Structure 1
Amino acid sequence: MTYDIPCVNLGSDEKASLLSKEPVITSGEDVSRYLVDTRDDHDPALTFRSLFLGTIFAGLGAALCQIYLFKPVQVTVSTVFLLLLIYSVGMAWAKFLPRGSLVEGTRFAPLKPILDFVNPGEFRIKEHVIASLVASTASGGSTAVMNFAVQRLYYDTNVEATTAILATFSTACFGYGLVGLLRPLTVYPSEMVYWVNLPTVSIFQALHFDSHANARRVKLFWSAFTSMFCYEVIPSYIFPLLNGVNVICLATQRVSPKAQDVITNLFGGTDGNEGLGLLSLSFDWQYITSSYMSLPLIQQANSWIGFVFCYGIVMAIYYSNAWNSLAFPMLSTSLFSSNGSIYDQAAVFGSTGLLNETALGEVGLPALTGSNAWTNLVANLAIGGLIAHAILFWGPYVVQSFKQARTKTQPDPHWQASAIMNRDYKEVPWYWYLGLLLLAFVSGLIVVLKGQTTLPWWSYITALLLGAFVTPFSTLLYARMGNGVATQQLMKMVAGAINPGRPVANLYFSMWSHDVVGTSIGLAGDLKVGQYLKIPPRAMFVTQVWGTILAVMVSIVDSQRTVLKDPIGTDVWSGQYVQSLNSAAITWSLAKQLYGPHGPYIWVPLSLLFGMVPTVLQWFVAKRWPRLGALRTESIILPLIYQYSAGMTSGTTSPTTSIVLVGLASQLWLRRYHPGWFRQYNYILGGALDGGAQVMIFILSFAVFGASGQPRPFPAWWGNPAEGNVDYCNGNGALG
């Protein structure tokens, strides 16, 4: 039996703004009604083919994720990249492998069930979604994997395979268990969009729903994909200057060294940790990405405010010598001694990861760069602001969502279609998710008691409870705005307070608290994709549980060990992420000395409370003045502004201006003035550009960038200078 869920007629809705009879997509309700088709063909989802393809490409996606974690700009693996490869292989599988119909009426007829099992026929949308979500779940990354990298790089500890497997499984599955229990709040409602997933949803429907309009979308997709695939080799390998063309840097080659230092710090940004990249234009799509083609304009506007603050505040911190900043590079996530040398943490903590008080007295306390201290401070501001904003501004929505779930009155058309679908496909009962939580808890407890974590069992339980508390707040922000706030600082702060002198324990505490939050957000977004595309709930459950245990670690940690430990890095590789994890773990393990009443960074923990105060004041203002001119008062998302005010404090910063311009072109010009084109092609185009760039980067990483061994740099020329910074901001003495 099938059920047709028709799309809502545009003429019957008075809520959406119309331009040339096309709806202007502004809200989650608009997305559900006009952007994503409610069609459901009731085709098979969980098959041998879908799980096999998902498993194979999970390894590829996880490997690519690890590559990007060691890049100077943190970029997530595009699901589009994975779904395209899966689509190509799936279509070939359906076409060329034998099917059961070939042996009907022959002596090989007993083989028909086996052939149908291996090749169930046409490769349709639900099989494609299942395989892609298995792969993308595994490619989402895990703090557990990065913890193992930190232990290998800084403590010469090779984590045992059992510890690695159980720790990764525990964090991922605990997060997924939380997601399942929170579905009525974080998945079902229309406003829970998960904006960055819209290109993926659009491409799935374009590839599998046969219509004249979709044929044009598919043509645009493959044209853009091929063009970007061919182009990406130019800025990423042949002509890296294109990643950060800055007129100020090019025009000031003959100024004094002192002036050049300032210019580099403010305008340089193509090399890792070079500068803030003000007014640089990037033409390298691997770093621009389509994220700002998906994020709502309200989120982008808040991020722009944060960017402006970042330029001014970081320069002010450095040149005012706050936190002794002038003794260190302006941008770096490494730890330093007070004289500016790299901190000798091996002498203080050794390979055991436990504090040696005598050695600490001899070596002294570690120091952060001013920009890194600011990053830690605003991270806590953002967490405090997020909790206050979610409670005060979104509290009524939370209550309403659970009421609608209980009474089955959720108005979202895709949830309604899923509710009808559930007459054929059973929902996942809540106790499945509870059982997953218990299994994850036991797995983690085994790691704590038997593994190389130095984490007490009671601290492990505290970490899980803290992660479970923060998860709903972070998921709400991410689902509504398309971007969350970093929670590592809160987790490490608590870990430092209850596990002093134990940096490795701090790493694992953060993993079982922060990683639970991150995993929950990613898996909730996948559940939303499943709701949009009508995947049977129990098939989604199996898909995501299977995907969480497939992540792998690749060889970059060993092959690029020297670069990853370097406080600056290169324009190709950077250890900023593992450095920041290690730096935070070390400093918070010395919380009393560094963050206590007499410590140099006392304002970092206090900022957690101070972050709530402006949001509370904003709420009172919003009660009195819901609008300030054309602006809704609640549209000011202070935690996002805090987060982005540290947006350029590490890595390559030159893409920022281009990212803003792409967002303006997509979400302001196209969405408002060409809504028909935006609705049909915007997300398809963004996904195609991401896919083309990431396919090429994957090839280049192993072919020439040294991901598996010896790098093969392109010959030097003026677009790829052999000396100095790639963007010719060559004066920064701090860069050596």
Structure 2
Amino acid sequence: MASQDGIEQLPKLPAATDSHPAESFDDEKAGHDSGKLEKHLSSNSSIASGKAEPDGKAVYDYDDEVQYVNGEPVITTGRDVSRYLVDTRDDHDPAVTFRSLVIGTVFAGLGAALCQIYLFKPVQVTVSTVFLLLLIYSVGVAWAKYFPRAEWVKDTRFARLGPVLHFINPGEFRIKEHVIASLVASTASYGSSAVSNFAVQRLYYETNVEATTAILATFSTACFGYGLVGLLRPLTVYPAEMVYWANLPTVSIFQGKLLSSNPAIPVSDPRPSAIIAALHFDTASNKKRMKVFWTAFTGMFVWEVFPSYIFPLLNGINIVCLATQHVPSAAQDVITNLFGGTDGNEGLGFLSLSLDWQYITSSFMSFPLIQQANSWIGYVVCYVAIMGIYYSNVWNSKAFPMLSTSLYSQNGSRYDQAAVFGSTFQLNDTALEIVGLPALTGSNAWSNLCQNLGIGGLIAHTIFFWGPYVWDSFKQAREKTQPDPHWQVINKNYEEVPWYWYMALLALSFFAGLIVIFKGQTTLPWYAYIISLLLGAFITPFSTLLYARMGNGVATNQLMKMVAGAINPGRPVANLYFSMWSHDVVSTSINLAGDLKIGQYTKIPPRQMFLTQVWGTILGAAVNYVVMVSVVDAQREILLDPRGTNIWRHVSHVTLRRQTPRSDQQRSGQYPQSLNSAAVTWSLAKQLYGPHGPYIWIPLGLLFGMVPTFLQWLIARKWPSIMGIRTDSIILPIIYQYAQWMSAGTNSAVISTIIVGLVSQLWLRRYHPGWYKKYNFILGGALDGGAQVMIFILSFAVFGASGTPRPFPAWWGNPAQGNVDYCNGNGALD
């Protein structure tokens, strides 16, 4: 019926039935929890109201401010995801089968190889899980269709082969097999800083770590993190607001839960008309979705060869750079520092537009808008701070490149760490007096400071804003009252993994690490190894909470380096391994917790999830090591060069501060180089970061990062909203993280990622929610997949991953000298 103002009024939703109980959820406004838990009202007391947008579309608000556009809910909070995007359906189909393990293992090799290659690229990106799962789906369907099945030999003389054929091909390729195969592949694809440490030793210390040692070390770090995840499940996996937003493309494609066009039908209605789902729950709608996927995949696969190989100018088109080819050299330097960004460590890339999807990625098609809004503040701070630090000569910045992660001598030359630490990997005080202390670029020092601010802010934010939520989550787990409907299905139908399984995994991981300590070339004392694990265990819940809620975390490796330097002064290799065990525990915990959430959404039996992830971790360790050796041996000189190339990046000293670490003058091998540089500088912690050191403010940032968050909490208690903005929606740790985002590497893609995020999370999600739920995530996965497959092919075919590179002939879109975006006035356009 219509109201007097012409806006349709929705009827009350039917009362919840016993089979579909009314759900109660933690209150989370705009994707952010103020810390107080409020029970959601049962649906039979929810009354819809309508209001008009300027364009005349009706927007319906009910059930705690859920908005509807054209009858489709706008997904905003974790509660909305659980109710409207993900289906509680469980068909009890088999999960771990011969077929799922074989397919998962094969694609684990591809995913792990891609991940390891990107550790040596100018910008590190993650391997798209959506890309992997859709390829796995195609292979699984083909397997089910073409492999012999038991019914083929039924009532024939070959009937006795029926059980064997059923074991090989159990019939239709269903959702749980698909999930298991995909998680094996994605778990192996996460990569590990452990393998990067071995690359550092191979490059900088001429130490070839044995394969057995490498695999044991990787297993130790990853599985210790997984053991922690298991113990922290009630806090970091079970609740509805623990979304892991970057995983939504995966879940949406496996199976999605969308309202029908009739808002009067409740989301719990089991009728087919109430659900529009994805790959496995609605095959009729698959054709169009798969058509969108393969069209986008093919288009991006073809396109990516242009910006990455034939026409690299497309990676960063900057009008200012193109228009200032003949300005005086002094002005040209300033323009390059601010507007340049296509080459590694060229500049901040301000106003550059990138058309290279391998660097844009689909991440911002998943991150909640609140996370993106905080990142924009960080970007602005980053532009101002880095330019200000350099041109005001803070930390003697003008003696070095504006952007770099390398270590320098005071005269601006590359620092001779071999002379200072020698073949024993320990500090030689006499040599240090001769060579002098290493220096950081201003941007690198700022990056380290921001990381410490972010760690302090993260700890304070979790305690002050999310403390009550933490307590209530564990209380709900103990009493088995967790309201998330997906957890309720799992808890009802399957046996949970006993806590002692995870404790046993922790013990195995601990002893595997001890073997590496005593038998490997780590120089790390056993007591420091134990401290590193304890430190990682302490930080893990803080980092995982932020990542689960916002889709992007805060790099905590800087804290690990600080503690390592205090415990192991003068031992850079020992500091590498200390950071590996402490930081890898955090990073693998986040990744594996996200996989557990996928398992919860898709109703995978917890015990089978456990075995799947352990297998994927071991497999990934082996493949990552093999690929690392191949790339390092083939591109050794380029990876050691502080400038590198725009294909392979050199290896220096930033930490894993984001999903896309950068490089020095960009370019190749920067991530391993950054690990080495950080290990060297923090092994000289007393001299560099002590009370009389040049970088004393960097460790103090850990404390200073807590104070503003505490003040914000006090303000939020007094004024929950200021000028229409919720006070607690300002997340300082994220702002700190992005305030150093452009301190190294290729920066030309920043504006493009913002545009992609606005189109996806503001325009599509808010004004076209139906299209958003059906195609947003599958489109992002297709674009990622097409770009990454082409990069994988080009890496070995022409970029020299396994031999001699074959560069594309020079032309104005691929200049042979100077910066690709012409910000240095290289004359190629004359």
Tell me the TM-score normalised to structure 1 length. Answer: 0.97
Which residue of the other structure, out of 672, 675, 696, is the alignment partner of 1:602? 696
2:125 paired with 1:75 = yes
Q: What corresponds to 1:188 in structure 2?
A: 238
Contact 1:282–1:658 (8 Å) recurs in 2: yes
In the alignment, the residues of structure 1 paired with residue 285 and residue 78 of structure 2 have an alpha-carbon distance, to the nearest angstrom, of 23
In the alignment, the residues of structure 2 paired with residue 408 and residue 214 of structure 1 have an alpha-carbon distance, to the nearest angstrom, of 37
CA shift for structure 1 position 6: 9.4
Q: Deviations over 1:167-191 (max 9, x none)?
A: 0000000000000000010001110
Q: What corresponds to 1:152 in structure 2?
A: 202
Q: What corresponds to 2:303 in structure 1?
A: 231
In the alignment, the residues of structure 1 paired with residue 773 and residue 253 of structure 2 have an alpha-carbon distance, to the nearest angstrom, of 12
Q: Report which structure shows greater RCO (CA 8 Å, sep ≥6).
A: 1
2:710 paired with 1:638 = no
119-128 vs 164-173, greater mean Cα deviation: 119-128
Contact 2:130–2:778 (8 Å) recurs in 1: no
Q: What corresponds to 1:568 in structure 2?
A: 643
In the alignment, the residues of structure 2 paired with residue 87 and residue 351 of structure 1 have an alpha-carbon distance, to the nearest angstrom, of 50
Q: What corresponds to 2:37 in structure 1?
A: none
In the alignment, the residues of structure 2 paired with residue 91 and residue 19 of structure 1 have an alpha-carbon distance, to the nearest angstrom, of 36
Q: Deviations over 1:88-147 (max 9, x none)?
A: 222222222212222222332222222211111111111111111111111101111000
Contact 1:333–1:369 (8 Å) recurs in 2: yes
Q: Deviations over 1:259-279 (max 9, x none)?
A: 111111110000111110000
Q: What corresponds to 1:411 in structure 2?
A: 483
In the alignment, the residues of structure 1 paired with residue 229 and residue 710 of structure 2 have an alpha-carbon distance, to the nearest angstrom, of 28
Contact 2:689–2:699 (8 Å) recurs in 1: yes
Q: What corresponds to 2:27 in structure 1?
A: none
Q: What corresponds to 1:478 in structure 2?
A: 547
Contact 1:499–1:505 (8 Å) recurs in 2: yes
In the alignment, the residues of structure 1 paired with residue 47 and residue 135 of structure 2 have an alpha-carbon distance, to the nearest angstrom, of 39
Tell me the TM-score normalised to structure 2 length. Answer: 0.86
Structure 2 counterpart SS, 1:315: helix
Contact 1:383–1:608 (8 Å) recurs in 2: yes
CA shift for structure 1 position 303: 0.4
Q: What corresponds to 1:436 in structure 2?
A: 505
Q: Which amino acid aligns with 2:421?
A: F
Which residue of the other structure, out of 590, 606, 628, is the alignment partner of 1:537? 606
Q: What corresponds to 1:161 in structure 2?
A: 211
CA shift for structure 1 position 519: 0.3
CA shift for structure 1 position 207: 2.1
Structure 2 counterpart SS, 1:420: helix
Instruction: Note the residue ranges of structure 1 that are not aligned, 5 or more in a row.
Output: none
CA shift for structure 1 position 216: 2.7
Q: What corresponds to 2:777 in structure 1?
A: 683
In the alignment, the residues of structure 1 paired with residue 279 and residue 411 of structure 2 have an alpha-carbon distance, to the nearest angstrom, of 59
In the alignment, the residues of structure 1 paired with residue 245 and residue 765 of structure 2 have an alpha-carbon distance, to the nearest angstrom, of 14
Q: What corresponds to 1:50 in structure 2?
A: 100
Contact 1:157–1:351 (8 Å) recurs in 2: no
Alignment root-mean-square deviation, CA: 1.6
Structure 2 counterpart SS, 1:550: helix
Q: Which amino acid aligns with 1:658?
A: S
Q: Which amino acid aligns with 1:712?
A: R
Q: What corresponds to 2:253 in structure 1?
A: 203
2:440 paired with 1:368 = yes
Task: Return structure 1 stretches of 4+ with deviation > 6 angstroms.
Answer: 3-12
Q: Deviations over 1:481-506 (max 9, x none)?
A: 00001011100100000100000000
Structure 1 counterpart SS, 2:619: coil
Q: Which amino acid aligns with 1:14?
A: D
Contact 2:326–2:825 (8 Å) recurs in 1: no
2:701 paired with 1:701 = no
2:325 paired with 1:253 = yes
Contact 1:323–1:600 (8 Å) recurs in 2: yes
Matches within 5 A, 1:114-513: 114-205=164-255, 206-422=278-494, 426-513=495-582
In the alignment, the residues of structure 2 paired with residue 103 and residue 673 of structure 1 have an alpha-carbon distance, to the nearest angstrom, of 54
CA shift for structure 1 position 212: 4.0
Q: Deviations over 1:455-486 (max 9, x none)?
A: 00000000000000000000000000000010
In the alignment, the residues of structure 1 paired with residue 21 and residue 201 of structure 2 have an alpha-carbon distance, to the nearest angstrom, of 54
CA shift for structure 1 position 441: 0.6
In the alignment, the residues of structure 2 paired with residue 17 and residue 88 of structure 1 have an alpha-carbon distance, to the nearest angstrom, of 36
In the alignment, the residues of structure 1 paired with residue 475 and residue 22 of structure 2 have an alpha-carbon distance, to the nearest angstrom, of 25
244-253 vs 121-130, greater mean Cα deviation: 121-130
Q: What corresponds to 2:72 in structure 1?
A: 22
CA shift for structure 1 position 84: 2.4
In the alignment, the residues of structure 2 paired with residue 226 and residue 243 of structure 1 have an alpha-carbon distance, to the nearest angstrom, of 19
Q: What corresponds to 1:39 in structure 2?
A: 89
Contact 2:324–2:825 (8 Å) recurs in 1: no
Aligned residue pairs, count = 727
CA shift for structure 1 position 237: 1.2
Contact 1:5–1:39 (8 Å) recurs in 2: no
Contact 1:6–1:39 (8 Å) recurs in 2: no
In the alignment, the residues of structure 2 paired with residue 7 and residue 160 of structure 1 have an alpha-carbon distance, to the nearest angstrom, of 56
CA shift for structure 1 position 396: 0.6
Q: Deviations over 1:215-262 (max 9, x none)?
A: 432222222122111211111111111110000000000001111111
696-705 vs 148-157, greater mean Cα deviation: 696-705
